[in-house]
Structure 1
Amino acid sequence: MEERTVPTGVAIRDAREQLFDAAERVLLQHGPSGLTSRAVTTEAGVAKGVLHRHFADFDAFLVEFVLDRMARIDTQAAALQEAVGTGTVVDNLTGILTELFGAVTLAIIRLVLARDELLTRLRQARPARMPILSDATAMITSYLVTERELGRIAVDADIETLAPMLVGTGHLLFADQEGAPPGTGVHKVVTTVIGDVEHEGPERRLGAIPPSTGAVLSAGT
């Protein structure tokens, strides 16, 4: 297929986005084993040389692809922080876990686990025991700490234990559904994990900053 020519300065960004979107579609349709350089360029509708022009090798491409998709967690983390002090902690966590463990995230986790070289390079680029899951744990830890400062989580809550429990259990719950949403299961898991440490009602310390009036994360059930 003839390669499309694009202006200098826009070419790299456009090519990256085009290839990343194609990689996502291939990954969702064919799984980690079907994600090859030829499959990506064919899906993107470009010559094979386009990928190798912008990336040293296919593993380098995959690292940048995963990091690009992981950046979405930063956006989700910002939204979760906006929800601090609004709604209920259980509903906010249910919403973020449901959003986090969508089909793309689950597919990328499987991809990382299937390719040792990719995992090694990701850890070099962004140190973490397990990319995505570690980032998600950090996001929820930060959220719970802030809610604790507002008095909506018990002061003696073991957040360093609760956060990985929520992420790990949420991941297993969604992964076991083979793409189907687990329904009310997420809400039940969150309630079970933090039910004993969540304070009912807006119990806030004297002088605490009023809660944000931003949008509350959907419960996603």
Structure 2
Amino acid sequence: MSPRKAPALHGTDLTLRDHLVATAARLIAERGTAGLTVRAIAREAGVADGVLYNHFADKEELLALAVRAHIRAVGQGMGELPRPGHGPVRENLRAHIAYGLAFHKAVLPAFAGLIGRPKVLDAFTASGVPGEDWRDQLHGYLRAEVELGRLAPDARVDAAVAMIVGVCHETVLTGLLYDASAPQDLPVEFVDDLVSAVLDGIGQARA
């Protein structure tokens, strides 16, 4: 005889563990992580508070898995990134920058409530799959273009990735941490300059 299904799961194919992660991820998408408690998650999930500890080592594990689920959901809703070998590299980089900026605007607020909670952040990092994060995808795209001969064989891929990701971080974090009125979009001219700096260099003056 199979075990009885919890009332909160009636009409679903989810396990209770998956239901709790999905519930916490939805709350994070709606409210962020600041002030999110085990009690709030349990109430929203329709279970007793103590049930969570039957399925997770601690609340940090649940929060880390929920943030990861939230980020995956954001990525799945943003469409496809350019494929190596298809379309001009400059246009593909512009598309990556637009994607990265929109992605950071959607996910970085979820981390605002986790500052000072290294255990959650460590568990979040451990829950990832290599190659799934946008930074990894950008790196993979550029490396593939090198292998296809559309970028120079000695292209500084790591530095280029750091430049692009850093711009997206700075643009969004400035608004989150310092100035809520700061624009979180990049002017077209700036994106063009960034792409040119990545592909052509900063342009050292000749002696």
TM-score w.r.t. structure 2 length? 0.68
Distance across 1 between alignment mates of 2:150 and 2:128: 32
Which residue does the alignment assign to 2:119?
Answer: 117
Query: More deviation in 69-78 or 93-102?
Result: 69-78
1:148/1:155 contact within 8 Å kept: yes
* Greater RCO, CA 8 A, separation 6+: 1
Which residue does the alignment assign to 1:167?
Answer: 165
Which residue does the alignment assign to 1:139?
Answer: 137
Q: What per-residue deviation string (whole Å, max 9, x for no partner) do you get for residues 80-138 of structure 1?
A: 243752261332122221331123x112333443311112333444499xxx9xx4322
In structure 1, list runs of 5 or more residues that go unmatched: 200-221
Distance across 1 between alignment mates of 2:141 and 2:185: 23
Question: Once the 2 structures are TM-superposed, how far is the Cα of residue 21 of structure 1 from its aligned partner?
Answer: 0.9
Number of equivalent positions = 186
Distance across 1 between alignment mates of 2:190 and 2:146: 20
Question: Once the 2 structures are TM-superposed, how far is the Cα of residue 160 of structure 1 from its aligned partner?
Answer: 0.9
Q: 1:85 to 1:107 in 2, by over 3 A?
A: same
Which residue does the alignment assign to 2:28?
Answer: 23
SS of corresponding position for 1:39: helix
Which of 9, 22, 34 is the equivalent residue of 1:6?
A: 9
TM-score w.r.t. structure 1 length? 0.65
Q: What per-residue deviation string (whole Å, max 9, x for no partner) do you get for residues 126-166 of structure 1?
A: 499xxx9xx43222111122233445444443111010121
4+ long deviations beyond 6 Å: none
1:174/1:182 contact within 8 Å kept: yes
Which residue does the alignment assign to 1:184?
Answer: 186
Distance across 2 between alignment mates of 1:161 and 1:191: 18
Query: More deviation in 17-26 or 57-66?
Result: 17-26
2:26/2:70 contact within 8 Å kept: no
Q: What per-residue deviation string (whole Å, max 9, x for no partner) do you get for residues 40-76 of structure 1?
A: 3344555424433432321110121123234358758
